[in-house]
């Protein structure tokens, strides 16, 4: 199965968390968010997927059909990092954010946040072309 609903790869977009640069693919539509990183065999270092929601809310993620160990971070509308969680491959139990203020979720390889000393309170810096709408 292809990695994307449209069978067309999405571009990589550069973003930063504080001074740490990474490249992400954007998941904005319900279909893109549902697909996420499912069926991927690997994820390059300093790469991830940025999920953008239509409004701040509690969000839930699971790892059905996802074989890559991931970390996920939840950010508010100002780009402030609220929470970081680890996600276990193929785990079908939903992991729900504590905060109802999540506008962005970022999935990256397990250990990315600790390796880069990124903790709650850090600021997500997005290029002007990325918006939640």
Residue 29 maps to which CATH number? 2.60.120.1140
Residue 131 lies in a domain: no
In a domain, 8, yes or no: no
Angstrom distance (rounded) from CA 17 to CA 122: 7
In a domain, 130, yes or no: no
Q: Which domain holds residue 117?
A: 16-125
Confidence of residue 128 (pLDDT cuts 50, 70, 90): confident
Give domain status of residue 9, yes or no: no
Does residue 133 lie in a domain region? no
Rounded to 5°, the CA angle 120-124-129 comes to 160
Identify whether 1 is part of a domain: no
- Look at the chain and report how many structural domains it folds into: 1
Cα 83 from Cα 105, distance rounded (Å): 10
Give domain status of residue 105, yes or no: yes
Quick: pLDDT tens for 47-80: 999 999 999 999 999 999 999 999 999 999 999 9
pLDDT at 4: 38
Residue 71 falls inside a structural domain:
yes
**What is residue 131's predicted lDDT score, i.e. its pLDDT?**
62
């Amino acid at each position: 199965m292809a990695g994307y609903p449209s069978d067309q790869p999405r571009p990589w977009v550069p973003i930063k968390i504080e001074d740490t640069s990474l490249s992400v693919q954007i998941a904005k539509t319900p279909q893109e968010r549902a697909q996420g990183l499912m069926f991927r065999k690997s994820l390059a270092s300093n790469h991830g997927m940025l999920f953008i929601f239509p409004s701040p809310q509690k969000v839930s993620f699971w790892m059905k059909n996802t074989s890559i160990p991931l970390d996920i971070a939840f950010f508010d509308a100002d780009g402030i990092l609220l929470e970081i969680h680890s996600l276990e491959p193929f785990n079908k139990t939903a992991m729900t954010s504590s905060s109802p203020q999540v506008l962005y979720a970022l999935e990256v390889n397990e250990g990315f946040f600790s390796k880069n000393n990124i903790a709650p309170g850090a600021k997500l810096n997005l290029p002007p072309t990325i918006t939640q709408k």
